[in-house]
């Protein structure tokens, strides 16, 4: 796509805080269960670029951080950085 073909760009942002509870890890036929609680913070930012009336592109990045602990696997917190790339079709 050419840079001149983008009609507009919208910046999208979001912050979520979620309570998280039970953790279950499945290991083949065995499982490890942990009942604890924690909080999840998930700030997210992205771009939505509309190319024409029907098609847009989406690019987003987030950071997930959870305070849950799991003593069976020596985990003190969980975190990840997901990146989202997509195409949005809007039917008329």
| Tokens 């950071």 -> residue | 63
What pLDDT is stored for residue 81 in this prediction? 95
Per residue in 21-55, pLDDT (tens digit) is 666 777 778 777 777 777 788 888 888 888 888 88
pTM of the complete model: 0.61
Residue 28 Ramachandran class (φ > 0 left, ψ -120 to 50 alpha, else beta): left
CA-wise closest residue to 8 among 46, 48, 54: 48
- Residue 17 clears pLDDT 70, i.e. is over it: no
Per-residue model confidence (pLDDT) at position 5:
63
Residue that wins the pLDDT comparison between 85 and 38: 85
pLDDT tens sequence across 46-79:
888 888 888 889 899 989 888 877 777 787 888 8
How far is residue 63 from each of residues 46, 71, 83, 86, measured CA to CA in Å?
Answer: 12, 23, 9, 18
Question: What's the domain range around 23?
Answer: 3-89
Total number of domains in the chain: 1
Contact 62, 40 (CB under 8 A): no
User: Pick from 49, 26, 23, 25: which is nearest to 36 by CA?
Assistant: 23
């Amino acid at each position: 796509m050419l840079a001149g073909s983008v009609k507009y760009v919208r910046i999208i942002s979001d912050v979520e805080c979620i309570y998280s509870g039970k953790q279950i890890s499945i290991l083949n036929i065995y499982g490890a269960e942990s009942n604890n609680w924690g909080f999840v913070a998930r700030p997210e930012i992205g771009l939505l670029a509309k190319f024409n009336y029907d098609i847009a592109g989406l690019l987003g990045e987030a950071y997930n951080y959870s305070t849950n602990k799991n003593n069976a696997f020596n985990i003190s917190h969980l975190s990840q950085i997901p990146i989202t790339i997509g195409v949005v079709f809007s039917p008329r």
